[in-house]
């Protein structure tokens, strides 16, 4: 299976496509599709065919959204693709990937603790894993732009 065919898998779900510098294919998808995309990736490529590199959460205060980027590296060509989704800022909830990709744990715990994105189905989410208790008890997520810390 070459790169074009692998990207075809993602294109079926994409709302829009663009390119992130330098030359990373970016697919914007619905939040509810994220888990299904990864399931189909596992089905088509197997666990050895790709790895989840990073989950980046960004607080877009002006648009009242939280943006979630999943960076996936396709093996063996090492093609980095970005799966981008937007969540509402008030109640950001998305399905967890932890039961199908164990490597997602680090990124999910971090994003929950710092940005408050709830990954539904991840039993390890916990406030105060990174953030000190005096901050987390106030319900402040430090990487949000209005956190004030």
For other proteins, the binding residues (CB under 8 A) are 20-22, 24, 47-54, 56, 58-59, 69, 71, 73, 75-80, 82, 98-99, 101-107, 109-110, 114, 122-124, 126, 128-135, 142-143, 149
| Distance between CA atoms of residues 87 and 92, nearest Å | 5
Pair of tokens at residue 55: 């989950």
Please, are residues 130 and 114 in contact by the beta-carbon 8 Å criterion?
Answer: yes
CA-to-CA dists, residue 18 to 4, 74, 100, 106, angstroms: 15, 18, 27, 27
Cβ proximity to other proteins: between 12 and 46 the closer is 46
Q: Are strands 65-74 and 118-120 parallel, antiparallel or unpaired?
A: unpaired
Cβ proximity to other proteins: between 12 and 106 the closer is 106
Pair of tokens at residue 24: 């990373």
Distance in Å, CB of 65 to other proteins, minimum: 13
Cβ proximity to other proteins: between 29 and 114 the closer is 114
Distance in Å, CB of 142 to other proteins, minimum: 5
Distance in Å, CB of 2 to other proteins, minimum: 15
Element (H, E) at 80: strand 79-88
Cβ proximity to other proteins: between 12 and 86 the closer is 86
Distance in Å, CB of 33 to other proteins, minimum: 21
Provide the 10 A C-beta neighbour count for residue 13.
Answer: 16
């Amino acid at each position: 299976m070459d790169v074009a065919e692998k990207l075809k898998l993602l294109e079926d779900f994409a709302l829009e496509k663009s390119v992130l510098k330098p030359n990373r294919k970016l697919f914007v998808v619905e939040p509810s599709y994220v888990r299904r995309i990864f399931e189909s990736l596992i089905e088509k490529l197997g666990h050895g065919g790709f790895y989840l590199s990073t989950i980046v959460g960004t607080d877009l205060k002006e648009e009242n959204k939280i943006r979630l980027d999943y960076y996936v590296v396709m093996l063996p060509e090492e093609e980095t693709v970005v799966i981008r989704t937007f969540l509402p800022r008030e109640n950001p909830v998305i399905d967890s990937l932890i039961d199908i990709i164990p490597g997602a744990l680090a990124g999910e715990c971090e994003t929950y603790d710092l940005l408050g994105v709830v990954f539904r189905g991840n039993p390890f989410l916990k406030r105060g894993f990174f953030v000190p208790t005096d901050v987390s008890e106030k319900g402040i997520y430090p990487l949000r732009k209005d956190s004030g810390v």
